[in-house]
Structure 1
Amino acid sequence: MAKQISELKLGILGGGQLGRMLIQQAINYNVTSLVLDPDPDAPCKHICNYFENGSITDFDTVYNFGKKADIITIEIEKVNIDALEQLEKEGKQVFPQSRVIRLIQDKGVQKQFFKENDIPTSPFQIVNTREDMQNSHFQFPYILKLRKDGYDGKGVMRINGAEDLKDAFNAPCIIEKLVDFEKEIAVIVARNSNGDVKTFPMVEMEFNPEANLVEFLISPSTYAESLQQKAEMIAKQIASAMNITGILAVEMFVTKDGEILVNEVAPRPHNSGHQTIEGNYVSQFEQHLRSIYNLPLGDTSSITNAIMINLLGEKGFEGVAKYEHLEKVMAIDGVYVHLYGKKYTKPFRKMGHVTIVDIDREKAIEKARYVQKTLKVIA
């Protein structure tokens, strides 16, 4: 007889807030969780069954940690893939699969994958040095992205003209055509080992212009049903082409002429799905568990309107975190605060998120704007 979910130990590479919320869900299924993270005070430390302080990019550390688990997953892509490949060869289940993580780690390879699989994306060019950028055929302005190690808005810059090239990344990058978009959207898709696939409803996002981080997310979208279905079909197409097991977040643009272009993907629970904890019948974290344990996928339907706001460290503050006006926002009906257990704040650090739910969409937005201007993370 196949083992039950509670009999298979779950190893998580990375002990940040995504791992923390995954463990909070895993506890409901009596899953034994093991976490590896380089931060000795990582958010997962006090809620997992076993915590190991160590590098998630070192072969031996990841390999020896992985041997302790039955199923291994990630909460960040910057991990040692060679160790995961070796663990797979020895019979460990790694989800998302190591080949998927390898594809995602390099934005150049990721864009080539989109092109080869007829997935709509913006025109791009792979460059290795500033000299390559100077010889590029792309017209200014354009977007420059590091091929590796960019995350949370880091590793991305806008090049407005030749004068900006002196400050450009001098490393392997991709140049992307600057998309004149109307809205940034996202769809989270889940796929289990049986090949069952489900998407969460499309969401609309607003970004902090300074930090380039999601600041305000609205679910479900009010775009035409045809556009939402198209976005969900693109997400399913990518998951199928990758043959992924697990959650995949697909970030996209809606252009001003109504087209959809894929920006990038992330093979793990994602910031664009936090509202599913209160706003949907199944959360992205439970769906990821269902996927990697090859269980039936849950109902992704929205229960009600849900707004998600990231709590970022305020500019000008660095030190032990203090949550100003927490009581004021907690007094409002339909407001759910999630703090990530990070002791120290710094400008734009993700310290938590707040979800606001209401059957009246405009009231949900009104409450969310109040929370956004009232609740501050200072030191």
Structure 2
Amino acid sequence: MAFDSNVKIGVLGGGQLGRMMIQSAIDFNLDVHVLDPDPNAPCKNISTSFTNGSLTDFDTVMAFGADKELLTIEIENVNTEALKELQKQGKKVFPQPEVIELIQNKLHQKQFYAKHGIPTAPFHEVANAEEVKAKKDFLPFVNKLATGGYDGRGVQAIRNEEAMDKAFDAPGFVEEMVDFEKELAVIVARNEAGEMKTFPTVEMVFHPEHNLVEYLFSPAEINSGIEEQAQKLAKEVIEKLDMVGLLAIEMFLTKEGKLLVNEVAPRTHNSGHQTIEGNVTSQFEQHLRAILNWPLGDTTTLWPSAMVNVLGEDGFTGDAKYEGMSEVIAKSGVHVHLYGKKLTKPFRKMGHITVSDQDMNELREKVNFVKSTLKVKA
């Protein structure tokens, strides 16, 4: 638990999550080295060193990890066999490779919840489109791919028999379509000493077509009983996984007031971006504290906050131009976080904006203003 900033940290993935983690790491004089397949990844110019290479190739990951003392991820699609080998060689790897491997497969994730008594929507394993179609008595349902789905891809809502042609012809599962009141998320951290801390529950609003979080509010508008249950459930999940690091847990709050775990991400997450300005400790600093086995930070909410994803406008591809930015940054309580991506394309995550206000109604008005004013075009 002793503070030491002379730890050589290797991060698999150099996207915006890694970039924001480095921004926190700089405060502690930590050296962060990054591996990413994109030669112009967002982390490229701010990491201590940048290696351009595959995250899924065994030899590349082994070579990258050879001189690192601690390895972590900012994306799940990584070679876990190499991480297991590096762990055997005495490197610290958090989250542990076994946890990453389990979470990489959404079916295994669901089976883990069922086995450990974690509440989740009823589901049936399917091997192909034929098996999905055979589950017509289970309609309406959501067909999810076991692997390969990311940021809303690999998820298909099937409401009736006519929509069955949308079924994935690959292994996965069909899950009961939950009639939910709200979609919630809790971020929980756990260090090697077993200390755990949760962030207050947030409420997410998804883009109707693209299954991406469009914006979220913190704290969620739920009663104290639900809040308590959500916090308890988050701790239960990270404990049962025996995971060290930061875990984001997406949940459904049903119309009957029950919480169901939807899915988890073993890393910093879209549902925690507002913590940068909205909480005493940000999710990025908390991730570092957890993997370094430092005392976990205070997660208290400073003021109500919201996060709006800045997505590339449909129909525009090329050098990004930010329309309405001057009007947006003129508003008090508005903080811009751009991700260093020069090129925009439809629905690409170009950045996010956090909005803070003591008054929830004012907060919602500001969020609507940001959403209608800021456009990323080319």
Contact 1:5 1:29 in 2 (8 A): no
Q: Deviations over 1:87-138 (max 9, x none)?
A: 0000010000001001100011100110111110000011111121122265
**2:195 aligned residue:** 196
Aligned counterparts, 1:59-70, within 5 A: 59-70=58-69
Q: Deviations over 1:24-56 (max 9, x none)?
A: 000111111110000000000000010000000
State the distance in 1 between where 2:350 and 2:151 align.
13
**2:278 aligned residue:** 279
**Does 1:15 find its partner at 2:6?**
no
**1:246 aligned residue:** 245
**2:374 aligned residue:** 375
Normalised by the length of structure 1, the TM-score is: 0.98
State the distance in 1 between where 2:177 and 2:133 align.
17
**1:34 aligned residue:** 33
Contact 2:247 2:268 in 1 (8 A): yes
Helix, strand or coil at the partner of 2:232 = helix
State the distance in 1 between where 2:137 and 2:38 align.
41
Question: What is the percent sequence identity of the aligned residues?
Answer: 56
Contact 2:136 2:161 in 1 (8 A): no
- Cα shift at 1:4: 4.2
**1:79 aligned residue:** 78
Contact 2:3 2:294 in 1 (8 A): no
**1:48 aligned residue:** 47
**1:218 aligned residue:** 217
- Cα shift at 1:3: 7.0
Aligned counterparts, 1:213-362, within 5 A: 213-362=212-361
Contact 1:138 1:177 in 2 (8 A): no
- Cα shift at 1:222: 2.3
**Does 1:90 find its partner at 2:89?**
yes
**2:129 aligned residue:** 130
Helix, strand or coil at the partner of 2:138 = coil
Contact 1:345 1:377 in 2 (8 A): yes
Q: Cα–Cα, structure 1 residues 3 and 257, in superposed 2: closer, same or farther, change >3 Å?
A: closer
- Cα shift at 1:210: 1.3
**Does 1:169 find its partner at 2:175?**
no
Q: Deviations over 1:172-191 (max 9, x none)?
A: 11110000001100000000
Q: Deviations over 1:62-91 (max 9, x none)?
A: 111011211100011010000000000000
State the distance in 2 between where 1:68 and 1:347 align.
39
State the distance in 1 between where 2:238 and 2:139 align.
33
Consecutive unaligned residues in structure 1, runs of 5 or more? none
Contact 1:323 1:378 in 2 (8 A): yes
Q: Cα–Cα, structure 1 residues 251 and 138, in superposed 2: closer, same or farther, change >3 Å?
A: farther
More off after superposition, 188-197 vs 128-137: 128-137
Q: Cα–Cα, structure 1 residues 131 and 241, in superposed 2: closer, same or farther, change >3 Å?
A: same
- Cα shift at 1:5: 3.2
Structure 2 counterpart of 1:78, one-letter code:
N
- Cα shift at 1:160: 2.4
State the distance in 2 between where 1:99 and 1:137 align.
35
Normalised by the length of structure 2, the TM-score is: 0.98
State the distance in 1 between where 2:258 and 2:215 align.
22
Give every structure 1 segment of 4 or more consecutive aligned residues whose post-TM-superposition deviation is greater than 4 Å: none
Q: Cα–Cα, structure 1 residues 92 and 3, in superposed 2: closer, same or farther, change >3 Å?
A: farther
Structure 1 counterpart of 2:365, one-letter code:
E
Structure 2 counterpart of 1:295, one-letter code:
W
Contact 2:142 2:176 in 1 (8 A): yes
More off after superposition, 167-176 vs 297-306: 167-176
**Does 1:179 find its partner at 2:187?**
no
**2:144 aligned residue:** 145
**1:105 aligned residue:** 104
Q: Deviations over 1:189-222 (max 9, x none)?
A: 0000000000000001111101111111000122
Q: Cα–Cα, structure 1 residues 96 and 361, in superposed 2: closer, same or farther, change >3 Å?
A: same
Structure 2 counterpart of 1:329, one-letter code:
V
- Cα shift at 1:139: 2.1
